[in-house]
Structure 1
């Protein structure tokens, strides 16, 4: 199996997940900045591998499988770290909504692929908007949340970075539910037809 540059970047993103966890728990003043930097770098590799794949036609079946897995792992781990650093009911709820939706939509896509209807649940525009809001929110929250301490007062443009991240995460979670319902709505007729064909 030949590994393309985009696939190597995806593998690098997966390898950065334990680095993210390790840096988050380091007992230094600069760890919040370093944690956000690691996550930002991982997000850049996510954009870069897609750009290289499209521009230079470096596609592979393994890369197509691995890329969404790497994205979901990175987001899930970042959410777990944020909830551990700021364990409030709302933060846990938004994290559960995002992770739960990703699991449900991944299962839906896999099932639709088995029916030869994967294009029915392709990424919609609202999903892309959700991804941007989610990534910015996680970056802000990782920058301002540390283990066993309240959010650090880090003013930026007249606002607390934590507050910005908190609101953006809520928006991302709402968009996550919305886009998930759109996926389900698009797939529902095919699911009903497949169910009828059984009998």
Structure 2
């Protein structure tokens, strides 16, 4: 069912290859364009859920695609920020050294929770998204947005530091929410 919220969710998925292409080319202009597109995509993440609830058009397709869209976007951006150097002014990749730890925590948690949800779905057990998990996603989006902006504005070191700080905060929430989901899952395992 292609409602406006579902179209917004699909647009997020379709925007990921464009984000990857722009992040592949490390120049301030591409990082700047990527930041603008990333902000638009982040806004649609909020809008699709808000509109679905406000219009009473929450659908199974939307419930299926929304977390996938988030995971695809976050994983792709993290990988590119780890792999690609900034335009200029900063040494090495935008996410490097000890800051790889929160990036790994975020990626690994998404894999574990996806597997856990699949297992629980086979038992016909639904695990709703918690409010804390929504905050986790928001922090991830803000963090990665700041890190993309750091690539566009390498002379503003504080933007890079803000992005890294919120990446660590997002990883902390990622651990907490991951543990919450795991606790629920463990109750249903032999």
Name the Cα RMSD after superposition: 1.8
Shift of 1:28: 4.4
CA distance in 1, matches of 2:135, 2:20: 26
**Residues 61-118 of structure 1, C-alpha deviations (whole Å, 9 max, x = no match):** 2222111111110010110111113152323322211011011111111211221221
Q: Does 1:127 align with 2:133?
A: yes
The equivalent position to 1:164 in structure 2, one of 162, 165, 176, is 162
- When residues 161 and 15 of structure 1 are mapped into structure 2, their CA distance, relative to the original with a 3 A threshold, is same
**Equivalent residue, structure 2, for 1:141:** 147
Give runs of aligned pairs for residues 61-72 of structure 1, distance below 5 A: 61-72=60-71
- When residues 141 and 15 of structure 1 are mapped into structure 2, their CA distance, relative to the original with a 3 A threshold, is same
In the alignment of these two chains, the number of paired residues is: 181
CA distance in 2, matches of 1:27, 1:113: 41
| Deviation >6 Å, runs of 4+ | none
Q: Greater Rg, structure 1 or structure 2?
A: 1
2:188 aligned counterpart, secondary structure: helix
Moved more, 129-138 or 81-90: 81-90
Q: Does 1:35 align with 2:14?
A: no
Shift of 1:52: 1.1
TM-score (norm. length: structure 1): 0.83
CA distance in 2, matches of 1:108, 1:29: 40
The equivalent position to 1:93 in structure 2, one of 101, 119, 125, is 101
Shift of 1:27: 5.9
TM-score (norm. length: structure 2): 0.87
1:122 aligned counterpart, secondary structure: coil
Runs (5+) with no aligned partner, structure 1: none
